[in-house]
């Protein structure tokens, strides 16, 4: 039983890989070269129906009542099995995204293992809420909450960190006894499909994990979110799509968890260690070619160190190595698609029309014939823009940031919070009292001080405003993926 036969990436429904329908396929392109390397079977509404029915049956036949310790043990087996098949997952993620092999190993696949292990620990250690209440007349009452699985959960994920973001939801959802129907991004079908093999190998019952491939509207994504058999939706993607999914789910008032877009700010004070700040900012602007929801696209720098930061960051950007994904020296891959590159290039145009000065980048790199067909773009930095410009207000989701000077702490806080998003921020200063103060003043879900994307998987992850609804991570995930029944007993 394998995810791919020859060229096809298949749907995994009710415990089996479904024979593809030649008439319902779409090409999967390698973003590094532009070459087609597989075809993906697009699930129709009847196959989505079968996936939801299979999930429901898995719940009813016992998966929902599996003891916590057995679910935790299964998650740990899944982590071990992903480690055993580590390089297969790395190869699949690279083929789908074109990302550098070093990142696929150290971030994407490593975090998938960590996600399963973390939620095995969290669910095994979770207690239940209970209260003993003293009543008049010396009597008492006992309140206790019993948490049950949400049920059949639709998991819809994006293309930027495909396996990391998928397992960030699959691990806690399974830990809590739910059954899942996954709709991976059409851009990155491979690792969600390979995960189906692993979960079957470690004993997850048929139907508890399903993968349906396709697009959003009028395709598998919308068939799933509008399906009457779905008990909840966890969605990671753009804010616009999240808003659409919210409308689709609204008539049936199902719980939703949204991890959406961002326009994240970094604030650099004049007392920073320049080398430390430049290392951290290079990571936060250019990791995954800027295709991380947490990436910095606005860098506010205290005026006296503005030139040092601007010149230093431009120099670091120029040293990034854009090359074949399988080359260990490569630091930076392509964007996910030509379509996304056109979107990013559109913002390059808008910024220059608004008077941006291009410190570095601003175009398409010439990388030789093998990569000429890929969706490559130059890491880019701008000065000369303001918070009024579209390139500073709208999420670009590429290797690009605007550097803007400030004078006072109050001004920096106001500039950083002047956004419709609210996902993440970073504060760079050696004055830790100021670091705490400014981080707490950020209207975001997550604020880092002198670091970026450093994660404890037990902490709440998510955003405010256009960046999302709800939190996942640690107990926050257990609360979303379960429904409590509070029992009150008169003693």
Ligand X SMILES: N/C(=C\C=C\C=O)C(=O)O
Ligand Y SMILES: NC(=O)c1ccc[n+]([C@@H]2O[C@H](COP(=O)([O-])OP(=O)(O)OC[C@H]3O[C@@H](n4cnc5c(N)ncnc54)[C@H](O)[C@@H]3O)[C@@H](O)[C@H]2O)c1
Taken in order 203, 206, 207, 209, the sign of the CA dihedral is positive
Q: Does 290 bind ligand Y (CB under 6 A)?
A: no
Q: Which is nearer to ligand X, 284 or 380 (CB)?
A: 284
Contacts of 50 (CB under 8 A, 6+ apart): 13, 14
Catalytic, out of 93, 222, 259, 378: 259
- For residue 116 the two structure tokens come to 């399963």
Binding mask 160-189 for ligand Y (x = CB under 6 A): x----x-----------------x-xx---
Task: Return the residue of 20, 232, 261, 422 that touches ligand Y, per CB under 6 A.
Answer: 261
Contacts of 291 (CB under 8 A, 6+ apart): 160, 335, 336, 397, 398
Task: Return the residue of 160, 210, 282, 331 that touches ligand X, per CB under 6 A.
Answer: 160
- For residue 145 the two structure tokens come to 């909450």
Integer-rounded Cα radius of gyration of the chain: 23
Q: Does 293 bind ligand Y (CB under 6 A)?
A: yes
Binding mask 306-345 for ligand Y (x = CB under 6 A): ----------------------------------------
Q: Which is nearer to ligand Y, 66 or 226 (CB)?
A: 226
Q: Does 461 bind ligand X (CB under 6 A)?
A: yes
What is the Cα–Cα distance from 344 to 297, expressed in whole angstroms?
12
Q: Is residue 259 flagged as an active site residue?
A: yes
Contacts of 487 (CB under 8 A, 6+ apart): 143, 144, 145, 146
Question: At closest approach, how far in Å is the CB of 486 from ligand X?
Answer: 30
Task: Return the residue of 222, 231, 378, 389 that touches ligand Y, per CB under 6 A.
Answer: 222
Q: Does 86 bind ligand Y (CB under 6 A)?
A: no
Stretch that binds ligand Y, among 64-72, 102-110, 196-204, 220-228 (CB under 6 A): 220-228
Task: Return the residue of 292, 351, 413, 466 that touches ligand X, per CB under 6 A.
Answer: 292
Helix 162-175 / helix 86-97 crossing angle, nearest 10 deg: 130
The residues in 390-409 that bind ligand Y, with binding defined as CB under 6 A, are 395, 397
Dihedral (Cα; 399, 158, 40, 223), 10-degree rounding: -150
Pairing of strands 209-211, 152-156: unpaired
Contact 281, 266 (CB under 8 A): yes
What is the Cα–Cα distance from 486 to 230, expressed in whole angstroms?
23
Backbone torsions φ then ψ of 243, nearest 5 degrees: -65, -40
225 binds, among ligand X, ligand Y, none (CB under 5 to 8 A by kind): ligand Y
- For residue 90 the two structure tokens come to 């790395």
Question: At closest approach, how far in Å is the CB of 157 from ligand Y?
Answer: 6
Task: Return the residue of 244, 316, 341, 479 that touches ligand Y, per CB under 6 A.
Answer: 244
- For residue 395 the two structure tokens come to 């999420």
237 binds, among ligand Y, ligand X, none (CB under 5 to 8 A by kind): ligand Y
Q: Residue numbers of the site for ligand Y (CB under 6 A)?
A: 156-160, 165, 183, 185-186, 215-217, 221-222, 225, 236-238, 241, 244-245, 259-262, 293, 395, 397, 423, 463, 468
> Using CB under 6 A as the criterion, which residues of the chain lie in contact with ligand X when the complex forms?
160-161, 165, 168, 292-294, 455, 461
């Amino acid at each position: 039983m394998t995810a791919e036969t020859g060229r096809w990436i298949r749907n995994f429904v009710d415990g089996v890989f479904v024979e593809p329908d030649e008439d319902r396929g779409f090409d999967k392109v390698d973003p590094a070269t532009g070459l087609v390397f597989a075809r993906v079977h697009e699930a129709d509404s009847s196959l989505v129906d079968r996936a939801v029915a299979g999930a429901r049956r898995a719940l009813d036949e016992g998966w929902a009542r599996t003891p916590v310790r057995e679910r935790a043990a299964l998650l740990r087996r899944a982590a071990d099995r992903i480690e055993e098949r580590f390089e297969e997952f790395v190869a699949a993620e690279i083929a789908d995204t074109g990302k550098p092999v070093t990142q696929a190993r150290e971030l994407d696949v490593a975090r998938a293992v960590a996600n399963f292990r973390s939620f095995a620990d969290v669910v095994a250690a979770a207690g239940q809420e209970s209260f003993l209440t003293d009543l008049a007349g010396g009597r008492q009452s006992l309140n206790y909450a019993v948490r049950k699985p949400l049920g059949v959960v639709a998991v819809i994920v994006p293309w930027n960190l495909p396996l990391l973001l998928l397992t960030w939801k699959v691990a806690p959802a399974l830990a809590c006894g739910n059954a899942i129907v996954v709709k991976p991004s059409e851009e990155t079908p491979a690792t969600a499909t390979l995960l189906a093999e692993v979960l079957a190998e470690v004993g997850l019952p048929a139907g508890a994990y399903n993968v349906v491939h396709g697009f959003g509207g009028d395709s598998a994504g919308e068939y799933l979110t509008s399906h009457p058999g779905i008990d909840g939706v966890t969605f990671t993607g753009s804010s616009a799509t999240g808003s659409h999914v919210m409308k689709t789910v609204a008539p049936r008032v199902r719980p939703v968890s949204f991890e959406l877009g961002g326009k994240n700010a970094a604030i650099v004070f004049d007392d920073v260690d320049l080398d430390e700040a430049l290392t951290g900012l290079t990571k936060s602007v250019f990791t995954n070619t800027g295709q991380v929801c947490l990436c910095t696209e606005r860098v506010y720098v205290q005026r006296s160190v503005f030139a040092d930061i601007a010149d230093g960051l431009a120099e670091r950007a120029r040293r990034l190595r854009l090359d074949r994904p399988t080359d260990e020296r490569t630091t930076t891959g392509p964007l996910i698609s030509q379509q996304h590159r056109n979107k990013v290039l559109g913002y390059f145009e808008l910024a220059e029309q608004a008077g941006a000065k291009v410190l570095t980048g601003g175009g398409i790199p010439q990388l030789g014939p093998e990569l000429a067909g890929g969706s490559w773009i130059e890491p880019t930095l701008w000065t000369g823009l303001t918070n009024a410009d579209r390139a500073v207000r709208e999420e670009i989701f590429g290797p690009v940031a605007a550097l803007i000077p400030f004078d006072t702490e109050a001004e920096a806080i106001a500039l950083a919070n002047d956004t419709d998003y609210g996902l993440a921020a970073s504060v760079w200063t050696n004055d830790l009292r100021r670091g705490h103060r400014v981080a707490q003043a950020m209207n975001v879900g997550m604020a880092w001080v002198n670091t970026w994307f450093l994660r404890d998987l037990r902490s709440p992850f998510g955003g405010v405003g256009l960046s999302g609804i709800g939190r996942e991570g640690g107990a926050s995930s257990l609360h979303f993926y379960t429904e409590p029944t509070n029992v009150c007993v008169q003693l």
